[in-house]
Chains A and B, each alone.
Chain A
Amino acid sequence: MISPDKIDEWIHEVEERPASAALIIRYIANRLGELAAREEELAAQNIALLNGKKVEEYENRLASLEYQLELLKRQLGGEMVLPTEAPPSQPASEMLSLVLYNPLGQVLRAEIDPLEMSSGQTIGSLAGAPDQDEAQPAILAAPSQEELLLIFTSGRTVAMPASSLAASPAESLDWQQAYLEEPRVKEELAAIQPIARMALYEYCIQASRRGYVKKMRTSFFTSHAAEGYIGTGVKLPADRTYNLAFAGKDDLFVMVSQEGYIFSMPAERLPTAIEEVVHLGITDHIVAAFTVSQKPSILFVTQTGKAVHRDTSWLDPAGTFKTKGQSLLSRERREAGTRIVGAAPVGEGDWGVFLHDDGKLSAYQLNQLLADGSLERGRAASSIVSITTFHMPEVKPQPPG
């Protein structure tokens, strides 16, 4: 766009008003700097294209899209006839769905705008204190456009878009108004897992409450999920499936028990048949299962709202199965009744939503929470029942006004 004519015009300006030379040089130098940075960026992209990394990324994206298409087909009950014209695209929702569920199959959804949250704020309330028995509720944060997989203790699964659950106001959530995916005989709702992005991962890992694990290739898992049955994932009659985690080839799989024992192992080394990978005490059970790839920290939360921070490098991956796991809590604290209620990897921009035993839902910026060490003092009276994390969407820069 810089033609010789233009350069002549700039020179003419300098001849007319010599004082303008410095300004013009500064503008051109700034532009050159900008273009040099851009060229480097493009060169890097070119390298990624040449070495196939970009291709791999696109293949993953394609796989994800294909899976989503499969899901749509299933929802429509068979082969989908694609319309000749693409349907008008919906506005990209940046709303966050908070999904609360309990073993009875009751599922509540509240839609909140994450950008309006402030750290430490109470963002909602669940009517009536959750039971402390086996019907203890759990919470999950997922984008409103997510696809959710409901996992029952029998191994049965049901997939549904998050948006198909009617959204209730976050400040007055009530189990009476919950959607009911009625469990069958001797069945309980064990977990809800977002699955829209699962095709991007290599493995799906099913973890049980007693520390048993089985690993499936995502492609197999996809076909099992399509059939509505993924297996119980347990060996012991007293055990039940806890949740799923998706992992890439090089990711580290982590499980955290209520009494503060941590098991970690590269996902690739996990067993494909159900195996006890961590040996838990008789009163202990798993309260968190996740994978760690890039995130630098791990947050552990106790029932009193204390936040314990460990660098990812602190994890000592197990070399064998049936290990006791790394201990997070000292014996004294464990005997004093300190229990872990949740854990999650934490990166820049991650937030957490905490469900308290008085039904309150509070939101915290996790890096801030790690810095503070505990939930705000006012919450100390209530215990934490469940936690979930999400990544705060970036605020778009405001155009100059």
Chain B
Amino acid sequence: MGLHVGIDFGTSNSGVAVFDGSQVHLLPIDPKNLVPQVVKTILYITSDHRHFIGQEAVELYYKQNINRQRRFVKKWSGEIDYHGADMHYVRDIYVYVDELQPGRLLQFIKTALRSEKYTGTQVFDRYYSLSDIIATYLRALKQRAESLLGEDISGVTLGRPVKFSAIPEIDRRAQDTLHEAALQAGFSRVDFELEPVAAALYYELSLNKPANAIIYDFGGGTLDLTIMRLGDPGRRLVYASGGIGIAGSDFDRAIITRRMLPHFGKGIVMHQPEIEKLINTIPDWSALPELSTPLARGELERAIHNGLAPVRLKALEALIFNDLAFSFYNMVEATKINLSSQAAAVARMKEKDLDIWELYTRTQFEKDIHEQQQQIEQVLVDTLAASGLEPAQIDAVVKTGGSSNIPVFSEMLARIFGQEQVKASDLFSSVTAGLAIKAHHSR
């Protein structure tokens, strides 16, 4: 029988930990990362189907893709059968394929679990279902963890948000897919724990008397809330759970939509539906790489030639065709993170034909995410109401997840519960640590 570990499969970051009964050991799963205990939830699949995760994936992606050459070839992809009242014909369908593409980078994999439509993607000559993608990532995590521990790992406790989706069917399907992926990855025993509950288990280690706590788990993909009675392992009580599918990646999208799109022609390019469609696709990280087609390039070149916002459309062309999308999203995320510690930051990206300089203040950011902030506050109030507790009865508000550090949300928590009650747990590892504790008890 092998080990049973806890894995936090997060939207932006993941982690693996084991609990030996007295102490949690967070594994340095990504030695190339600044914080080795955290690995980016990024998968890079090369054209010969080798798989890379975390920082290694990022570095290889940069090395192989930035400013690379492209060669589009027309490939037959299938046919469409037309049936009319008095006619029937078959039409061939062709797609343009970049035959020099060295690999595909997949990120925000977890977000796909809550999508109604996403079932998988074609990666070169193979179709990867969503469970194949997740299994590939988890398999790599498992292998790394096994080599660090020097032992086989047979079981895993995986974290899951309180709600993948508000629609019960999608929520159930998301967990089933994650379960199937974990089995595919080679774990023979798989169980789940709610991520905020896991964070609570870790927080409980630091308690010396029972307390009512809100676990405020705010990461890259979702906000998860759990209100619990902690401190007496024999009498743990979950008062209420809640959550919403708003988190870090939504804030990035808000920044892009409101502040970045004008750099690519938004507001200047009018009555050009094809080009406007390209511009409006920028906030969608998964769709942007698909825009690099000869057709799109032709449209852009024509518009540039005709003097239609040439500098901005040249920037758009560079973003799409020089594989700068990943760097661009990272830059936006870094700007947002900087705003947690300072009142202003510069969103800066300078590449060939692309020069973005945007001074962005915390006030602007708070204005841009005001709507989401209100929704989040409403969920928090609703969850608290569902617990039957008053704010004054909450002894601790435990913040975890990268987005929980955003000042406007810290201020919101302090306003509702009092500054004294707001405690920061380990932002990136408390869920992983809690899952390891749960894994230990499950064994």
Taking Cβ atoms with an 8 Å cutoff, the residues of A that contact B are: 1, 6, 9-10, 12-13, 16-17, 19-20, 23-24, 27-28, 31, 34, 88-92, 396, 398-401
Q: Which of B66, B100, B361, B362 contacts A91 (CB 8 A)?
A: B100
Judged by a CB distance under 8 angstroms, whether B143 is at the interface is no
Chain A nearest CB from B37 CB (Å) reads 18
CB distance from A85 to the nearest CB of B (A): 10
The reply to whether B62 and A10 contact each other, CB–CB distance below 8 Å, is no
Contact of B346 (CB < 8 Å), options: A17, A27, A88, A90: A27
A23 & B342 in contact (Cβ 8 Å cutoff): yes
Chain B facing A: main interface SS: mixed
A34 to B362, CA, bound (A): 24
Do A13 and B362 have beta carbons less than 8 Å apart?
yes
**Across-interface contacts of A398 in B (CB, < 8 A):** 62
B66, B343, B363: the one within 8 Å of A9 (CB): B363
Contact check, A1 vs B263: say whether CB atoms are below 8 A apart.
yes
Contact of A399 among B66, B72, B263, B364 (CB under 8 A): B66
Closest to A90 in B: B69
Q: Do B343 and A13 touch (CB < 8 A)?
A: yes
Cα A400 to Cα B34 in complex, Å, equals 13
Q: Using Cβ atoms and an 8 Å threshold, which residues of chain A touch B330?
A: 400
Render B329-371 as a binary contact track against A, CB cut-off 8 A, 1 for contact: 0100000000000111010000100000111011110010000
Residues on B with C-beta less than 8 A from A12 are 361, 363
Can you list 26 A-B contacts (CB < 8 A)?
A1-B357, A6-B359, A9-B361, A10-B344, A10-B359, A12-B363, A13-B361, A13-B362, A13-B363, A16-B363, A17-B343, A19-B343, A20-B362, A23-B342, A23-B343, A24-B344, A27-B344, A27-B346, A27-B359, A31-B359, A88-B72, A89-B69, A90-B69, A91-B69, A399-B66, A401-B59
B364→A9 contact, CB < 8 A: yes
Contact in complex: B262, A399 (CB < 8 Å): no
Q: Once the chains bind, are B327 and A399 in contact (CB under 8 Å)?
A: yes
Distance, CA A17 to CA B362, complexed state (A): 9
A20 touches B344 (CB 8 A): yes
Task: Tell me which residues across on chain A come within 8 A of B58, comparing CB atoms.
Answer: 401
Instruction: Kindly state the interface size class of chain B when it binds its partner.
Output: 20 to 34
B72 (CB) vs chain A CBs: closest residue: A88
Interface residue ranges, B against A (CB under 8 Å): 55, 58-59, 62, 66-69, 71-73, 100, 262-263, 327, 330, 342-344, 346, 351, 357-359, 361-364, 367
Extra pairs beyond A9-B363, A401-B55 (16, CB < 8 Å): A1-B357, A9-B364, A10-B344, A13-B362, A13-B363, A20-B344, A23-B342, A24-B359, A24-B361, A31-B346, A31-B359, A34-B357, A91-B100, A92-B69, A398-B62, A399-B327
Chain A residue numbers with a CB within 8 Å of B364 are: 9, 13
**B364 CB → nearest A CB, Å:** 5
Chain A residues, CB < 8 A from B346: 27, 31
- The distance in angstroms between the C-alpha atoms of A399 and B67, with both chains bound, is 11
Q: Write the nearest CB–CB distance from A9 to chain B, whole angstroms.
A: 5
Residue of A nearest to B65 (CB): A399
Residues of A within 8 A of B67 (CB): 396
Nearest residue (CB) in A for B62 is: A399
* B357 nearest CB neighbor, chain A only: A31
User: Within 8 Å CB of B357, what residues of A?
Assistant: 1, 31, 34
Smallest CB gap from A19: residue in B: B343
Of B262, B351, B364, most A-chain CB atoms within 10 Å? B364
| Chain A residues within 8 Å of B351, by CB | 399
Q: Is there contact, CB below 8 Å, between A400 and B327?
A: yes
Contacts of B71 in A (CB 8 A): 88-89
- Is B262 a contact partner of A1 (Cβ separation < 8 A)? yes
Q: Which 10 A-B pairs have the closest CB atoms?
A: A20-B343, A13-B361, A91-B69, A13-B363, A88-B71, A17-B343, A24-B344, A9-B364, A23-B344, A27-B346
Q: How far is the CA of A92 from the CA of B69 in the complex (A)?
A: 8
Distance to closest chain A CB from B343 (angstroms): 3
Residues of chain B with a CB closer than 8 A to A23's CB? 342-344
CB nearest neighbor in A for B343: A20
Residues of B within 8 A of A92 (CB): 69
Min CB gap B339→A, angstroms = 11
Q: Report the bound CA distance from A134 to B363 in whole Å.
A: 80
CA distance in complex: A321, B80 (Å): 80
Cα of A316 to Cα of B399 in the assembled complex, Å: 77
Complexed CA–CA distance, A226 and B306 (Å) = 40
Q: Across the interface, do B55 and A13 meet the contact criterion of CB distance under 8 Å?
A: no
Of chain B, the residue at the smallest CB distance from A18 is: B343
- Given A20-B344, A399-B327, A10:B69 Cβ within 8 A: no
Q: Report chain B residues within 8 Å CB of A24.
A: 343-344, 359, 361
Closest to A91 in B: B69
Give CA–CA (A27, B358) in the complex, Å: 10
Report the separation of the CA atoms of residues A66 and B204 in the bound assembly, to the nearest whole angstrom. 77
Q: Are A13 and B69 in contact (CB under 8 A)?
A: no
How far apart sit A61 and B116, CA to CA, in the bound complex (Å)? 55
A24–B327 CA distance with the chains assembled, in angstroms: 24
Looking at A1, A91, A401, the one whose CB has the most chain B CB atoms below 10 A away is: A401
A3's nearest neighbour on chain B, judged by CB, is: B262
A-chain residues with CB within 8 Å of residue B66 when the two chains form the complex: 399
Bound CA span A399–B349, Å:
10
CA of A90 to CA of B327 in the docked complex: distance in angstroms? Answer: 25
Q: Nearest-CB distance from B275 to chain A (Å)? A: 19
Contact check, A28 vs B359: say whether CB atoms are below 8 A apart: yes
